[in-house]
Each structure stands twice: as structure tokens, then as C-alpha cells.
Amino acid sequence: MTRVVALPGDGIGPEIMPAALEVLGAMVSVDVEEHLFGGASIDAYGTALTDEVLAGAAKADAVLLAAVGGPKWDTTDAAKPRPEQGLLGLRKGLGLFANLRPVRALPALHSASPLREERIAGTDLLVVRELTGGIYFGAKTRTATSASDLCAYSTEEVERIARVAFAAARTRVTSVDKANVLETSRLWREVVTRVQAEEFPAVELEHVLVDNAAMQLVSRPSRFDVILTENMFGDILSDEAAMITGSIGMLPSASLGAGGPGVFEPVHGSAPDITGQGIANPLAMFLSVGLLLRHGLHLEAEARAVESAVDRALAGGLRTHDLGGDATTAQATAAVLAQL
């Protein structure tokens, strides 16, 4: 039996997780093990990620995560636990170094994007973000009058994420850095260039500074195939790219390592402003189920079926509140299940 660990987390997480498990269950028979995570785990155990949950996740075939965080746990006190520490701990503990965030501009949602249709039409890109290095994981210091965060990368870390990006590319990899300023970016650029020349000569490579990449994402996003970048830049650029789809509620992600289970989660947050109202958009969660089927369970046909069901539901007029409609979470779930 396929074993999936489900981490509903906080905010709208417990509302969209049951819907996602219903979609997953319609495609494959799974044994689901649910755990507290993030803020909910802090309330219960004083930590965002317990050793038990990490051990359970490590033994699973895949991990499905909904959302973490909220105002209740916001703090600037370094001694207090934060829900986001659970995410970082899970990624580090499972060795998940590659974050894949696909972005498609669906014709049915062109009008929902703040960008003009002629700018976004045809966009089908993949952001490949390095997930366990960089400034998020570097040494941190704090005094009464100053603070620092170390950004560090090794050659090995850059090599392995570059290979993921080149393997996923159809024609071109756009490597994003800040090599005109940062020494880590200069190393990044040198290593990516070498990996392409030695291992993927058929794939075109271009280097773009992160500020230029941010501009091009909104001016002509369809030019991108695969965007390869480090941890913080990838975090920011993938959220910016969400606007191409019309809502951050449409973006799934997969976090993968060299072996063992991956973590599959929507890019959006816990949305505390709509928690408990039953109106959260579950579509990014469903698309994350699609990525789980593809990358976690290696079921390509089933993954395509889920993605197609979401596309057809939208083409049929489904619109949740964030997309300018009034469909509830339950109605959106029913519409996708009807297409399946």
C-alpha cells in the first residue's frame, strides 16, 4: 500500500487538505497518516516539527503539505518557535534540495491575471529553486543594534540543482543570479556554465541578473523555459510568477531530493483572512497532488488526469473567490471530481 503523510498545517490548510486527499484517493489507493505541523504543532508540542513527524515523513512514499503560519505565531524573538521552522526542518531533514514550481497561463484564466493577455499567452515555464542552501540556512547573528545572515553555497550544491534544471529543460535554462555584486553568484555562474558544457551541451544556457529576470517575468514571461536560481531569489521570483496565472492560489510545487520521499505543497500561504469561511481555492492543492502522482509515485497518466480535470473545470466556468468568482472550496472540489 502506498503511504502518504498528510500535514494540514495552519489557516486554510485543514480546509483544503481533505479536498486534496479526496482527489488523490480518486486516482490511487493510499494509506494516509496525518500529523500536526507548523503552528498547530507549536501549540501542541512547543515545536513546529517534532522528531516523530520527521521520522514518519522519512518512511513515507510522499508527503502532502497544505500551509503553515499565521499572525498568532508571528514573532521577532529568536528564542520563540516559528511555523516556518517546520518547513525548513522538513526540507533539511529529508534532504530536499530541489524545488520545482511550474507556471502555466491557462486561456480560461487570462482575464484573471493583472497582466494583459498578449503578454502572458503561451507561458509555460518551470522555476527550479535551490532549497537547502543560501541565506535562509546560513549562520545568523543578532545583537541589540545589528544582525547578519550568511549566504553560502558550495560547488556540490550548485552542481546538483543545475543538473535538475538542465534535465527538465525543453530547450533553454535561464540561470538567475546577482553576479555583478555577490561572490556566491559568481561561483553559481561558473559552476552552472561548466555543468552545461560538460553534461548538457544540447541545452541552451543564458545568465540573467535577478533584477532583469524580475522585469522580464512581467514584460514577456513566455520567453522562459526553465528558470534556475538560488534559494531566496527563487522564493521571490516564483511568487511573482504566480500573477501570470491570475492567483497565487493556482501554483503547486514539488520539493525533491536525491532519494526518499518528496514534499508536495501549494505555493500560497495559510490565508488567515479567509480561514474558516469555506472559500479557499483548493486548485493549487489539487495540482500539487498531480505533482505528487508524477514525481512521488511515478504515475504520469494519473498526474495528467488531475491536471486536465482542473483545466477543464476552469474552462467550464469554475471560479473561486480569488479568481473573481463565488465558488466555495466544496464546489471547486466537486467540479474537479466531476471532471475526473
Read off the pLDDT of residues 209-252 as tens digits, 9 standing for 90 and up: 999 999 999 999 999 999 999 999 999 998 898 888 888 888 99
Where are the chain's structural domains?
A: 1-100+251-340, 114-245
pLDDT grade, residue 75 (50/70/90)?
Answer: confident
Structure confidence at residue 8 as a pLDDT band (50, 70, 90): very high
The lowest-confidence range among 113-122, 186-195, 225-234 is 113-122
Pairing of strands 96-104, 124-130: antiparallel
Catalytic site includes residue 235: yes
Q: Residue 1: is its pLDDT beyond 90?
A: no
| Given the residues 61, 136, 177, 311, the one annotated as active site | 136
239 is known as an active-site residue: yes
Q: What is the pLDDT of residue 247?
A: 80
74 assigned to active site: no
| Topology adopted by domain 114-245 | Isopropylmalate Dehydrogenase (3.40.718)
Q: Which string of b and e fits 262-290 if b means at least 16 CB within 10 Å?
A: bbbbbbbbbbbebbeeebbbbbbbbbbbb
Query: What is the pLDDT confidence band of residue 17, given thresholds at 50, 70 and 90?
Result: very high
pLDDT band at 115 (very low <50, low <70, confident <90, very high): confident
Fold match, 1-100+251-340 / 114-245: yes
Residue in 43, 74, 211, 273 annotated catalytic = 211
- Write down the pLDDT at residue 213: 98
**Is 326 among the catalytic positions?**
no
**pLDDT for residue 32:** 97
Q: Which of 177, 225, 235, 311 is catalytic?
A: 235
Indicate the residue type of 16.
I
Pick the CATH number of 1-100+251-340 from 3.40.50.300, 3.40.630.30, 3.30.70.1230, 3.40.718.10: 3.40.718.10
Q: Annotated catalytic, 77?
A: no
Residue scoring higher pLDDT (65 or 241): 65
DSSP 8-class letter at 123: -
Given this model, what pLDDT does residue 34 score?
Answer: 98
